Structure 1
Amino acid sequence: MSIYVGNLSYNVTEADLTSVFTEYGSVKRVQLPTDRETGRIRGFGFVEMSADAEEAAAIEALDGAEWMGRDLKVNKAKPREERGGSFGGGRRNNHSSNRY
């Protein structure tokens, strides 16, 4: 299981996030997705902890908490949805596809 952490400051680092979550248990992994074009973090991240009880404690304590000037949104991460699929893999093959 993984924890979703939203509404993060664009200045946050993996080390910052690790230090906050370490207060609630052992952090296995932290991911901060970045924008492909700018390289800047996208304002959310994921944290994996060693035990479900540690994750639950972190979610309970940190959801809605203010950190780095922002109110965090912290909850269980939802499984990543597959893209494409039912309509042949994503974009439409017509002239309006450049309006995305």
Structure 2
Amino acid sequence: MNIYVGNLSYRMNDNEVEAMFAKFGAVKSAKVIMDRETGRSKGFAFVEMAEQSAGQEAIEALNGKETEGRTLRVNEAQPREEKPRRRF
């Protein structure tokens, strides 16, 4: 199950996000999305859980939870919409 984690502290890294979700089950991957130009976190991440039930449990437990002064938004990730590329 693929999970979107929004409103993350900009200081959190992949390992910290993975540890937060590991309490609920096996984590296949945890990736904080970084800005290509600045190298800073964009404040959101994607986590892939091995089990659907563990992912659901993590969503219920972590959505709305405060971490490092920020209220997390956690839900099932939606497939990315294809947008036309911008031309300059």
Relative to the length of structure 1, the TM-score reads 0.83
Stretches (4+) displaced over 4 A: none
Asked which structure has the greater CA Rg, the reply is 1
| Count of residue pairs the alignment pairs up | 88
CA apart distance, 1:38: 0.3
Identity, % of aligned positions: 50
The residue number in structure 1 matching 2:22 is: 22
The residue number in structure 2 matching 1:76 is: 76
CA apart distance, 1:31: 1.1
- RMSD between superposed Cα atoms in Å: 1.2
Return 5+ residue gaps in structure 2 as ranges.
none
Whose strand fraction is larger, Structure 1's or Structure 2's? 2
2:30 partner amino acid: V
Return 5+ residue gaps in structure 1 as ranges.
85-89
SS at match of 1:42: strand
The residue number in structure 1 matching 2:86 is: 91
